[in-house]
Amino acid sequence: MSKNYLEAAVEIAQEAGKVLREEFARPPDIAYKGDFDLVTQADRRSEEVIVARLHKYFPEHAIAAEEGTGRESASEFRWHVDPLDGTTNFAHGYPCFAVSIALAQGDTLLAGVVYNPIYDELFAAARGAGATFNGQPMRVSKNATLATSLLCTGFPNHKRQAHPNIHYYWDFTLRSHGVRRDGSAALDLACVAAGRFDAFWEFGLKPWDTAAGVLLVEEAGGKISDLAGEPYRLGGPTILASNTLVHAEMQRVAAEIARRDPAAPLQR
């Protein structure tokens, strides 16, 4: 059953990816949601394609889409859609962004796809069926220590002047091979699933940022929790995703940072 959902999600993500490629070739058309949060014609056009197609295939299902054009429904099935994850990169012409589509049944994620249309990289997973990268099985890395890890994180657009994550960024940078800040949480999670990064953490992400990536990481053999080690729920205040092997060490260091620095609490 999940297979059909996944096939639909893959087809739709690739369709939306075509729209993003077209829009990326044009001069950007930027507007603002609030003071800092960008939105472009590309976010809107991509969402239009995704919501129309999901609604056509699964008319009963609820759709939660970032730009607000989804649909409510009493169904226990809910699609989480980020039509363009990495809008700031997109708007600056930096080719690091993705489409993220996931289906949940109640609290259980069934299918997830993250698609980078510029590199034509497709990360996909269905619950219990493993994860793939461009059709080939994908696994998390085997690196077992923080000191030899490559990590990634992100910062929210709002409250960027004084965000506690800068304390974690600083500390984890000194204790690892480095911390990348690529600007697309969906791709960050996909890269943990693909073994490119050993771990990822962030504060304040929305369900559409993480739903697909969480399933990718789990199905690729990785672990997901919040930064304090409690179970992660979509939209929760923090997320920690790892190859499993460095999870406990990441948590220990996060707890140490929070203890040492009152400006960097573990929950926001």
Task: Give the residues lining the site for ligand IPD (CB under 6 A).
Answer: 82, 85-88, 154-157, 183-185, 205, 209
The least CB distance from residue 7 to Ca ion, in Å, is 24
CB-nearer residue toward Ca ion: 20 or 264? 20
- Smallest distance from Ca ion to CB 96, Å: 13
Give the residue from 81, 68, 79 showing the smallest Cα distance to 104: 79
Strands of 88-149, DSSP E: 98-105, 108-116, 121-126, 131-133, 136-137
Least Å from the CB of residue 147 to ligand IPD: 25
Contact 81, 101 (CB under 8 A): yes
- Minimum distance of ligand IPD from residue 37's CB (angstroms): 7
- Pick the piece of the chain touching Ca ion (CB under 5 A) from 81-89, 189-197, 212-220, 236-244: 81-89
Interactions with Ca ion, residue window 39-78 (CB under 5 A): 66
Asked if 209 is part of the footprint of Ca ion (rule: CB under 5 A), the reply reads yes
Torsion region of 97: left, alpha or beta (phi above 0 gives left; psi -120 to 50 gives alpha): beta
Q: Please name the helix (run of DSSP H) or strand (run of DSSP E) that holds residue 49, with its range, or none.
A: helix 41-57
Q: Output 38 or 258, the one with its CB closest to ligand IPD.
A: 38
Q: Residue 211 or 245: which CB sits closer to ligand IPD?
A: 211
Q: Is 85 near Ca ion (CB under 5 A)?
A: yes
Q: How far is CA 29 from CA 18, 43, 93, 148, 257, in A?
A: 17, 10, 12, 41, 40
The CA distance from 139 to 110, in Å, is 18
